[in-house]
Amino acid sequence: MPQVRSVDRNTPIEEAMAILHEDGAVVFTNLVDGAVIDQVRAELDPYLERAYNGEGDFWGYKTKRVSSLIAKSKTYGEELATNPTILEVMNQLLLPHCERYHLHVTQAVAIGPGEGQQIIHRDDGLMPFRHPGPQSLCNTMWALTDFTEENGATNVILGSHEWDDDTHPDEDSVITHAVMPKGSCMVYLGSVFHGGGKNLTDDEYRVGMITGYSLGWLRQEENQYLAVPPEVAKHLREDVQHLIGYHLHDLFLGWVEGHDPHVVLEDRYSDVMPAASEGGEFVEDSKILKTAVLGEASRH
């Protein structure tokens, strides 16, 4: 059976990007050590054990899902969501279209024995953009168990990221599988058609973790500010805080009282009330003039 092409940790990033652009997906084999995955599992499994099966052809019937992963697993935020190789891919893919990107969605997906194939879909179908076009988002799938053809490795239609909006998968579409060992990560464009695979095993869960990134000016699919409220977010590592959205985009998007929203996590919220106090981070008038009046903000 055909598989999604893979690279390893030492492959130059350009090679991985070339596959991603050509196929719409690429697997990074063994991107993190098994010990990292074991730690994530230790933090996540209590939630997975309590999770309910889905109900429907998209969510599945024997598939458990757990979201708000940043709030639930510190190791996930620090080792997987901010993995430097993955962020380098996102830098190249998304930064041409925004000043910063942010975390779009987090979800663990445990496909149980006997589960059927998930509906093949495009993750960026939620967005009002035409295809083909620039990528508004890009998702990744971390393998927390081995992904095999038998246990439900993600199905992907390679090349479908270039299809227009009138082209849909049919019985002639070639389905490939993201077969990969535990600790690997598949990157797949928001526009590529894909879906969870059938689990033909009697007793094996296929556990993966969806981690998506989207343009910094676009609404996040998972509301990160509620999924990870400030009292939780303030204990996270700073780069994780920025990634989930506690930052300004291009001076204006996302401010609180005229300030960078990160002040809320620094217990300085009361200092910046009212906005005209000496907080020191209020967007300077000169920058506002240049950006809003003269239109000189960085445009991509």
Ligand X SMILES: O=C(O)CCC(=O)C(=O)O
Residue with tokens 């009282």: 257
Interface pick for ligand X out of 106, 154, 224, 241 (rule CB under 6 A): 154
Give CA–CA dist 210/142, Å, rounded: 7
Indicate the residue among 94 and 105 with the shorter CB distance to Fe ion. 105
Give CA–CA dist 214/53, Å, rounded: 28
x/- track of binding to ligand X for residues 199-228 (CB under 6 A): ---------x--------------------
Residues 223 to 282 in contact with ligand X, rule: CB under 6 A: none
Torsion sign over Cα 140, 26, 151, 117: positive
Interface pick for ligand X out of 100, 194, 242, 247 (rule CB under 6 A): 194
Interface pick for ligand X out of 54, 77, 183, 196 (rule CB under 6 A): 196
Q: Give the range of 40-48, 79-87, 90-98, 191-199 binding ligand X by CB under 6 A.
A: 191-199
3-state secondary structure 126-168: HCCCCCCCCCCEEEEEEECCCECCCCCCCEECCCHHHCCCCCC
Q: Give the range of 33-41, 188-196, 218-226, 290-298 binding ligand X by CB under 6 A.
A: 188-196
Residues 1 to 60 in contact with ligand X, rule: CB under 6 A: none
Give CA–CA dist 135/212, Å, rounded: 12
Residues 95 to 124 in contact with Fe ion, rule: CB under 5 A: 123
Do the beta carbons of residue 227 and residue 71 sit within 8 Å?
yes
Give CA–CA dist 72/143, Å, rounded: 18
Where on the chain is the footprint of Fe ion (CB under 5 A)? Answer: 123
Where on the chain is the footprint of ligand X (CB under 6 A)? Answer: 109, 118, 123, 141, 154, 194-196, 208
